[in-house]
Structure formats: C-alpha cells, structure tokens
Structure 1
Amino acid sequence: MRLSRRGLLAGLGSLALPRAALAIEQNRFPVAIGARRIAAFEPRSPEKRRFGALQFRGGLVLSCGHPRFGGFSGLWRSADGRDLVAVSDRGFWLTAKVASQEGRPVALEGAEMAAMLGASGRPLIRSRSFDTESLAIAGGVAYVGVERTHEVLRFDWAGQGFDARARSVPVPAAIKRLPRNRGLEAIGVAPAGPHTGIVVAIAERSVREDEPTLGVILKPGRPELFKVARHDGYDITDLAFLPSGDLLLLERWYKPWRGVGMRIRRIAGRDLKAGALLDGPYLIEADLGFEIDNMEGLSVHLDQGRTILTLISDDNFSFLQRTLLLEFELA
C-alpha cells in the first residue's frame, strides 16, 4: 500500500529514472546490493535481544544504485533460508542468496532483478496489474497478490523462473470490490490442516478504520470468505504460515508527523474457516524507537529446528526511507 506521501516521493523518483533502465525491463539484470549491519533492534538498549515473543537475530540496511531497486512488499525464503525472492510494487522480481555469519545475515549475494511478465509476455509494469504487493511460493509455484486490480496471479517459478508468465487465479466478486488502494496485501499457502496447499489472501483494509478486513481461502471452485479483526489503526501488510498451520500477520500503521509502527499477530490455524472473524495475540510491537521502516513483507523458514521470521520494508522509492531486512527467532 502506498503511504499518503508516496505519490509525491514516487514522482520525484521517476524524474531520475533513466531511459536505459526502461529499455532493460524485460530482461534479467544483476544488481549490486550494499548491506550495512544492524547490531541492535532497539538502539537505546543495544544489549537487548528479546522483544515480546521474538529474539532479534540481526538485520541489514540494503542499498543499491539501480532505479528499479526498492518498493519491496512481498518476501519468500527457501526452506533452508539461503534463497530469497522478493517482489516490488512496481512489478519486479528480486532474487539473491542470503549470506550469514554466526546466525546473523551479513549480505545479499548474486542478486538479480527482472520484470514480472503478464500472460502475453508483456511486463506487468506496462499493464494495470503492476501493483504487486504480496508473494508466496509453494510447490514450485509463485502466487502474487495485486492491489488496485484485486487479482491473484500464479507463476511457474520452479520451471521458468523470471521467464514465467502470469496466470490468473479466480477470486470471488467480493474481492474484486475491495477499495482501490486497499487490496490483497497478504498472501500465503497453508502447509498443514484442513486447507493444506490452499492459497489464503487478506486485504490490507477492506472497510473503515478499525473495522474487520476481508480475507479469502481460494479453494478451487468454492472460495470461502472470512474476516480479520483490526485494532488501533493497524493495517494488514503480509502473512506467513508457521509449519503447524498457524498464521502470522504483519501489521503496519502510518500517520503524518508521527511516523510508522509495526507488529506481528499470531492466529490459530484451526480458526481459519468460512465466515470466521480471526484474532489472536501479538508477538511483537515496535515504533520508530526501533530499527523499523514501512515493514510490508514477511517470510518464515526453519534453521536447525528454530523458527525464523524475516521482514522486509518498502522504501516507497524515497530517499527519506530505507530498505530493511530483519531476522527474528520465534522464542
């Protein structure tokens, strides 16, 4: 979701976009990513590692001179955490290897980007479906939620990678009626329970402030709608499933002159069903007193039996914001 100041900032960024960058948008291209380590999640308490139910493992401030780098709203990491895939909200893929030392991320290596392709082979950035906001990869298939047009797209990621073309996943009419800039910000594939292998997606905010937002279980031929409670002005920005089938929801608030906040909520997988109103306890909450930005992407993987959460921020292509990659362990 674009923050209220984003139109201006994005406009400023586009003025600096060279024609050469537009010419290569159909091809994969390498990007050199700088990474500055974040030693403490709460700078005023550098020795502190435990925050709520999470243990901070480390983080990176990512930088890159390429004009297509940034705006990352969806995130996936492989089962071993080595491979990373992200999507920007301008219709681009990012892939990289995560280098770690002593259990902490230290760099992104071998990074490449490419334009996401529509069904015709035309880049999504040249279509109405460019606003790609969420990502999940399961069974070799990448599922992407598109805001504004309220679509779910599937890509043959294992077979074709960057060359995969989008195929539409049918969604119910209620999803198509979501507010224009409050669409499917969160998407995941259930790994366990009655919905194993089924895509689940949740809208950022389908109605007014603090009213429940709409979600959908995309069962083939018979999708089921549910709702998620919202509190304190937070919007839903991503979801990730734990191996048990429980959901983790990444949430974010933004207010001019006050900054931004983020938190993560856990939802019992057994509660996910048609007509349900989902809610659950919060694992962590942070504001600008911590090393956060506009946190929009969430991924879960296992490291020697430990459950690792990775978050990425959307910098809105603004020099006032940062692209952060944060790692936590579920304590």
Structure 2
Amino acid sequence: MRNPMLRVLACLSLFFFLVPVTYVRGPVPPANDSQYIALEPIALDARDPERIRVGRLAFLGGWKITSDNGEFGGISSMLALPDNRFLMLSDNGTLVGFTLDEANHRAIRPFIAPLPEGPAPPNDYAKKNWDSESFLHDPGTGQFWVGYEHQHSIWRYGPSFARKESVNFPKAMQEWPDNGGAEAMLRLPDGRFLVFSESAKYSEGGYQALVFEGDASEPGSKAKLMGYRGPKGYKLTDAALLDDRTALMLHRRFTPLDGVSAILSVARLADFEPGKIATSQPVATLKPPVKVDNMEALAVTREGAKIIVWIASDDNFSTLQESLFFKFQLLDGENRLKKTGPESQNEKAGANPGFSTFESD
C-alpha cells in the first residue's frame, strides 16, 4: 500500500492545479492596471542548465513572465507577429502584448488590456465570463478571431480590435461541455476553419472538432463533425499551422502522482476531414525535470531555414503556478540541427506603444 501521506499530498496538488484559489484577508486591494511586464530568464532544466534538447526540440530561450497587473495571467493562446511582437490571450478576455528583446530579457512596448467586447452574461445576475481560449489572425486583413468556452462561440474582430465584426454560436458547439469549448482553432490554407473541443467525446474515439466550410464567425457558415485523437491521456490545448501540409498540436496532462506534462506533435492537414478521426505524431514530451507547467499556448515562426516553436503556459491565476514562455527550434526528422546561413536581425518595433498598436510599425 502506498504511503497515506503521499496520497494526501497528491490530492492537494490536484486540487490546487484544477481550482484557482485566492485568499483575501481584510479589504480587497484596489485594482492594479500596471502595464509593466517583466521577463526573467530560466533554464530548460534547472538540474542541468546546459541541457538544450528534448525530443526534436532544441531549447533557444525561456522566460518567466510576471506583471503586477491584476488581470495578467491565464495565457491560453498566442500569436507571433512580425519583428518579435507577441500577442497573448488570457482566458479572462485579456490581451497581453509586447515585443521580445531576447538579448536583454525585456518586454518592449508592453500593454495589458481587455478585449473590446465578448459574450454577454447568461442572465442579469451572472458575472462576465469571457473564457477566451483560442486565437487566429489574418495578416492580410488585420482581422482577429477568438473562440470562447462556456458561451460557446466564435467572434471576429476588426484590425487592432477596433470593433466586433461578426459572431457565431454554432449549434453543434452548444452541445459541448461547459468547460470543453473552442480550445484550439486552425485556419486551413483553403480557407476552412477547424475548431477543436477539449472534452466533447467523438463517437468513434477521441474528441470532437468542427470543420467549417468558411469563416467560423459567420452565422451562416456550415460545420461538419470530425474527431481528433491526441496522445493517450492528454488533451489538446492549442494548434498552429506548420506549413501547407501539417500542423503542430499541443497537449497537456496532469495527474496527482506524475504532475504536469505536455506533448507536442505533428498532424497532417489531409486527415482533418469530416467523419474522420485525425491523429498526430509526437515530436517532444515536456515533463520534469524539464521546466513545465500548464502549457496552453503555441505559435510558429521562421528564422531563415529554422522552424521556431513558441510555447507559453496558463498559470490559472494561481500563486502555485507560473506563466512560462519558451523558444525552441524544431529539428528535422533525424533530430539534427540544420546548418543555416547568418540569421537576419529583427528590426526594432516602433516607439509608439499602446492598445491600438498590436503589430510593429
């Protein structure tokens, strides 16, 4: 029989991971709207600071993100924009943006601000619950798409989030579990949208996903059902296109005895078809002693011939967790670092900060 104390500690860890807890003593402190974001460099493996490899990922940098702003935290999805500009989306409807100065570990031109509009409370007595989980951007039009849980819907916003342009509450999504909504979204090269449920089970195995013929935020957009089966025991938290044939899929798992871990895998876009069950091939597993938390946000960029993978974590607004931000290079199929020419230097973003400037000048 296992040590009873071990069971107690395991149950407590599960409770604190799944249920954000805030202890308030005395009057509630005034809201803090600080726009400052701090980046603290961290190693991939604190026990072995020289370690840079995990599966097919080569570690290029890592940071713990903090801010005194009361709305900071809960990072659920993110976008990598030009010139090392990042836009992160919290699951409380908050946008977090900054330009990453990797050499000096600084967040330049930071801002923290709420989305301009979101789902209305279900009744007059309910609190606002903008559980925003997934995020897309069209660099050509400047438009953004956000997927919401609880009040399952897809919203489209204009450039710089100036206004809401369209909103759709797809009928099929209304059957999804309250906390199992649009966990991840993809926009395929042919214009179709994929919206993945975190926990709505598919009849043939795995979890449900919807294939929209067009813009998922348009009320008239038709959707067909498919399934996605990730690594056993793991649930999908985000997805990002790798190229016109494949996508990266990010998954997480938490158990009281093993703790938290994440798996990054590659899926074929050709398998994302109505009525089918898509799967993916793992390329890396993040688990202790590697630094890992509730990994929920994923983005892909390129530096010359290198494929760069960015992963961030959701701290659940808990003091027991952290907002982590990692930069990796995805190695080729034989796990070799590709030789490339000199990397071009990123141009510095303009000096004009603020909520209205999401992309670099």
TM-score where L is the length of structure 1 = 0.83
CA contact (8 A) 1:76 1:136 kept: yes
User: Residues 324 and 187 of structure 1: is their aligned pair in 2 closer, same or farther, counting only changes over 3 Å?
Assistant: same
Cα drift, residue 145 of structure 1: 1.1
**Aligned equivalent of 2:8:** none
SS in 1 for 2:102: strand
CA distance in 1, matches of 2:27, 2:148: 26
Q: Deviations over 1:154-181 (max 9, x none)?
A: 111x2xx24333631352x222111111
CA contact (8 A) 2:231 2:282 kept: no
**Aligned equivalent of 2:37:** 33
Structure 1: runs of 5+ lacking an equivalent:
22-28
**Aligned equivalent of 1:233:** 233
CA distance in 1, matches of 2:39, 2:330: 24
**Aligned equivalent of 2:192:** 198
Cα drift, residue 121 of structure 1: 10
User: Residues 99 and 245 of structure 1: is their aligned pair in 2 closer, same or farther, counting only changes over 3 Å?
Assistant: farther
**Aligned equivalent of 2:175:** 177
User: Residues 291 and 14 of structure 1: is their aligned pair in 2 closer, same or farther, counting only changes over 3 Å?
Assistant: farther
SS in 2 for 1:152: strand
Cα drift, residue 275 of structure 1: 1.3
Cα drift, residue 11 of structure 1: 4.0
**Aligned equivalent of 2:264:** 264
User: Residues 327 and 119 of structure 1: is their aligned pair in 2 closer, same or farther, counting only changes over 3 Å?
Assistant: closer
User: Residues 86 and 277 of structure 1: is their aligned pair in 2 closer, same or farther, counting only changes over 3 Å?
Assistant: same
Instruction: After TM superposition, list the pairs within 5 Å mapping 1:63-142 onto structure 2.
Output: 63-78=66-81, 80=82, 82-101=84-103, 106-118=105-117, 129-138=129-138, 139=140, 140-142=142-144
Cα drift, residue 127 of structure 1: 6.2
CA distance in 2, matches of 1:303, 1:12: 44
User: Residues 324 and 81 of structure 1: is their aligned pair in 2 closer, same or farther, counting only changes over 3 Å?
Assistant: farther
CA contact (8 A) 1:118 1:165 kept: yes
Amino acid at match of 1:100: E
SS in 1 for 2:243: coil
CA contact (8 A) 1:114 1:162 kept: no
Q: Deviations over 1:36-83 (max 9, x none)?
A: 1123x12333323222111111110111111111111011001x3511
Amino acid at match of 2:35: V
Quick check: 1:12 aligned with 2:12?
no
Structure 2: runs of 5+ lacking an equivalent:
1-13, 215-220, 332-361
User: Residues 72 and 13 of structure 1: is their aligned pair in 2 closer, same or farther, counting only changes over 3 Å?
Assistant: farther
SS in 1 for 2:231: coil
CA contact (8 A) 1:297 1:312 kept: yes
CA contact (8 A) 1:30 1:110 kept: no
SS in 2 for 1:5: helix
Amino acid at match of 1:217: V
CA contact (8 A) 1:59 1:326 kept: yes
**Aligned equivalent of 1:43:** 46
CA contact (8 A) 1:155 1:167 kept: yes
Q: % of aligned pairs identical?
A: 25
User: Residues 217 and 265 of structure 1: is their aligned pair in 2 closer, same or farther, counting only changes over 3 Å?
Assistant: same
**Aligned equivalent of 2:304:** 304
**Aligned equivalent of 1:24:** none
TM-score where L is the length of structure 2 = 0.77
